[in-house]
Structure formats: structure tokens, C-alpha cells
């Protein structure tokens, strides 16, 4: 298991508008602490916002697990959005740009996937959905000797 | 751990987005976290204000907004579309570079929504357009 020096994995509830705002704030803070650049932070927070809203709107609420990963060469942040909702019936369709079942623009899943480095969906009809995404902070070039 | 159930520093129920009238232009300043409900309320407020004040332009300043996701993007596009039907033009001002990069990757380029680098340029764009309209036969 990849342990973290920065912070323990945190679980935040997703049950309301205010929770979405809180999740965005906490993801932003965790990414900043891990040394993510501004663009990487913005992409990850935006992806988190899309996925948390899916959890709320389509999954009927749930939670997000935020896990800092700093055992590898570059620190990363893993986010797992979990709900016990109806599940995604047609995953290919859900991942298509422009497909929406919730009155949005249909960019939530496909857009979020483009904003992160790793994206995994585990969904079972009637049981729920777990979407796990991971982003890595840009690899910082090693400091030159003597600098 | 403190929960989000309270209103928090970024507003919640009861928090309103300031909408200022400057001559024929409405200036809307978005800042920090905008809850989904607030964004929808804003859409209604702006549309009402346009209808009642007969302004011809709307500037939405998003320089204080650190993320625009597909929900907020849709609300902004709908505000502009609604304003257009009420004969007012909308300019989105001050988008942060990181937000622009993210929106492109997200696939949300907001076609049809005019942008300006800051509020001043947005105002110029709207007033210049007006002079042109007056000058044309």
C-alpha cells in the first residue's frame, strides 16, 4: 500500500450542492499540498466537480474518498466517487460526448476522463457506481547539483 | 472534521451574487465557490433585471472564479442566450488561463459566448457595438 506522509485518506459525503462545493475545496487543497501546478489543480478540481455531481444527481448521493499518493516518483491524488444508486446501464453511452440523462451538457464523464491521467469505472446495475480517477503532479526535474 | 452543512465562507442559501447597473450595462461579479442553486438563481435574477431595467449589455466578470465545470458553463451560456432574446448582449470577462485550458479539454468551448480579457475591455466591446448600431442606417 502506498502510504502518505501528507494526509490520511479522507472520505467526504456527497449529498447536496454545498457538499459539491466542499469537495471541490478539499480536492484543491489536497492537490496544492502535493505540489500540483495551477493548471493540474484546476483540471483535477473540475473533474472532481463533474464526478461529484454525477454521484449526487445520478447516484442519489454517496461519498468521495481522497487518497494522496506520494510513494512514487511524482506525487499524485486518487479520488474515488462512490454511490449506491441504480448503476450505469450502458457505460459506452455514458462515456460519449454529448450523451446526457440528467439535463446537463453530457460532458461529465467523457470530459472528466480527459482531465485526469487514470480513469476507471466500476458499475453494477442496481448496486451502484464507483468511479476512480488519479492525477499526478507534473514531474519536477531533479535539482542540479550545487543549486 | 468540519462538515459543509453550514453556509461556509462562500455563501449558501441566502447568499446573492452582486449585480450592478452601470448605465446601459449590468455588471455581474462571480467570486469563489458558486453553488449550483445559486447559479440557477442568478440566471433568473439577471433575466429579470434585463427585462425591468432595459439594459442592452451584460458583463459577467469571472476573474474571481477558479473553476468552471459543465454545469456553470451551461448556466453561463443560458444566461447569454436569454439575454440575447431580451435584446441584450453578454460578454464573459476575465477568465483565468487555467480555466480556459481546462474548458477546452473538457470539451466546453462555449461557442456564441463573447469574451474579453477584463471588465474594462468587455465594457468597451459593448459600448463600441452600440455606437456602431446607432451609426448604421
Reported as a single tens digit per residue, the pLDDT across A47-74 is: 999 999 999 998 999 999 999 998 888 8
Is B69 near chain A, with CB under 8 Å?
yes
Q: Which of the residue ranges A47-61, B20-34, B90-104, B119-133 would you say has the lowest mean pLDDT? A: B119-133
Please tell me the predicted confidence (pLDDT) of residue A9.
Answer: 83
Mutate which: A11, A17, A24, A112, vs B, most B CBs within 10 A? A17
Give the separation between CA A52 and CA A20, rounded to whole angstroms. Answer: 6
Reduce the secondary structure of A68-110 to three states and give it as a string.
EECCCCCCEEEEEEEECCCCCCCHHHHCCCCCCCCCCCCCHHH
Closest CB from B67, B101, B107 relative to A107 = B107
The grid coordinates listed for A5 are 506522509
Please tell me the predicted confidence (pLDDT) of residue A130.
Answer: 96
Residue B132 has pLDDT above 70, yes or no: no
- Torsion region of A98: left, alpha or beta (phi above 0 gives left; psi -120 to 50 gives alpha): left
| ipTM value | 0.83
Estimate to the nearest angstrom the gap between the alpha carbon of A90 and the chain centroid.
Answer: 21
Please tell me the predicted confidence (pLDDT) of residue A95.
Answer: 80
Structural domains in chain A, CATH included, are 15-136 (3.30.565.10)
Please tell me the predicted confidence (pLDDT) of residue B12.
Answer: 46
Burial class (CB in 10 A: 0-12, 13-18, 19+), A140: exposed
Please tell me the predicted confidence (pLDDT) of residue A108.
Answer: 79
Q: Which of the residue ranges A21-30, B33-42, B63-72 would you say has the lowest mean pLDDT? A: B33-42
Please tell me the predicted confidence (pLDDT) of residue B87.
Answer: 94
As a whole number of Å, the end-to-end CA separation of chain B is: 65
Ranges of residues in chain A with a pLDDT under 70 are 1-8, 98-106, 139-147
Reference B95, options B63, B59, B58, B60; nearest CA is B63
Residues of B in contact with A44 (CB under 8 A): none
Q: Which DSSP string corresponds to chain B?
A: ---S-S--TT--TT----EEEETTEEEEEEES---HHHHHHHHHHHHHHHHHH--SEEEEEEEE-S---HHHHHHHHHHHHHHHHTT-EEEEE---HHHHHHHHHHT---TT-EEESSHHHHHHHHHHHHHHHHH--
Please tell me the predicted confidence (pLDDT) of residue A99.
Answer: 65
Structural domains in chain B, CATH included, are 19-135 (3.30.750.24)
Count interface pairs A-B at CB distance under 8 A: 87
Amino acid at each position: 500500500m502506498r502510504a502518505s506522509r501528507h494526509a490520511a485518506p479522507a472520505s467526504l459525503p456527497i449529498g447536496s450542492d454545498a457538499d459539491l462545493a466542499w469537495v471541490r475545496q478539499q480536492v484543491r487543497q489536497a492537490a496544492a499540498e502535493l505540489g500540483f501546478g495551477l493548471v493540474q489543480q484546476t483540471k483535477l478540481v473540475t473533474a472532481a466537480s463533474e464526478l461529484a455531481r454525477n454521484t449526487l444527481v445520478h447516484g442519489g448521493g454517496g461519498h468521495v474518498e481522497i487518497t494522496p499518493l506520494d510513494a512514487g516518483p511524482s506525487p499524485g491524488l486518487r479520488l474515488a466517487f462512490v454511490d449506491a444508486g441504480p448503476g450505469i446501464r450502458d457505460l459506452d453511452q455514458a462515456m460519449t460526448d454529448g450523451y446526457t440523462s440528467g439535463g446537463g451538457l453530457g460532458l461529465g464523464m467523457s470530459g472528466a476522463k480527459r482531465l485526469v491521467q487514470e480513469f476507471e469505472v466500476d458499475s453494477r446495475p442496481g448496486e451502484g457506481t464507483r468511479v476512480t480517477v488519479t492525477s499526478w503532479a507534473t514531474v519536477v526535474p531533479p535539482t542540479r547539483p550545487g543549486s | 472534521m468540519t462538515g459543509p452543512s453550514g453556509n461556509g465562507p462562500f455563501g449558501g442559501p441566502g447568499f446573492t451574487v452582486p449585480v450592478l447597473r452601470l448605465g446601459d450595462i449590468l455588471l455581474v461579479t462571480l467570486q469563489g465557490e458558486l453553488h449550483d442553486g445559486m447559479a440557477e438563481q442568478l440566471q433568473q435574477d439577471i433575466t429579470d433585471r434585463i427585462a425591468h431595467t432595459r439594459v442592452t449589455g451584460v458583463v459577467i466578470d469571472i476573474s474571481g472564479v477558479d473553476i468552471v465545470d459543465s454545469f456553470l458553463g451551461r448556466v453561463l451560456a443560458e444566461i447569454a442566450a436569454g439575454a440575447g432574446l431580451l435584446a441584450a448582449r453578454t460578454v464573459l470577462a476575465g477568465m483565468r488561463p487555467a480555466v480556459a485550458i481546462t474548458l477546452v479539454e473538457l470539451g466546453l468551448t462555449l461557442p456564441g459566448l463573447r469574451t474579453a480579457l477584463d471588465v474594462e475591455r468587455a465594457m468597451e466591446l459593448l459600448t463600441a457595438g452600440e455606437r456602431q448600431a446607432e451609426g448604421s442606417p
